[in-house]
């Protein structure tokens, strides 16, 4: 049986989420670049896909102080090479 304090940690063991954690810094840099592009374009939504892990990065800019950044793990996990 899994102790109560460890139950919430098991989602991190999924292949897609684990790969996302490995390149998390790159994701934040890419999302900042996308946000800068959206600010110059005066709003909208733009998405990109990480080349390393295949996760989707989605950024929506609503206005001066409202934006949303999301990371979605790849479907089906990571392909092994």
The backbone region for 72, taken as left when phi is positive above 0, alpha when psi lies in -120 to 50, beta otherwise, is: beta
Q: Give the residue, 19 or 73, on which the prediction is more confident.
A: 73
pLDDT per position as a tens digit, 35-51: 888 888 888 899 888 88
Please name which of 24, 37, 35 lies closest in space to residue 67, comparing C-alpha atoms.
Answer: 35
Measured distance CA(15)–CA(53) in Å, rounded: 10
Whose tokens are 């950024």? That residue is 59
The whole-number pLDDT of residue 81 equals: 44
Q: Which residues pair with 59 in a beta bridge?
A: 46, 69
Question: What average pLDDT does range 19-37 have in this prediction?
Answer: 79
């Amino acid at each position: 049986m899994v102790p109560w304090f460890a139950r919430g940690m098991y989602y991190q063991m999924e292949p897609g989420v684990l790969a996302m954690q490995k390149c998390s810094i790159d994701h934040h840099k890419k999302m900042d670049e996308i946000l800068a592009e959206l600010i110059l374009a005066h709003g909208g939504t733009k998405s990109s896909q990480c080349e390393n892990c295949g996760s989707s990065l989605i950024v929506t800019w609503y206005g001066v102080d409202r934006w949303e950044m999301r990371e979605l793990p790849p479907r089906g996990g990571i392909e092994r090479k």
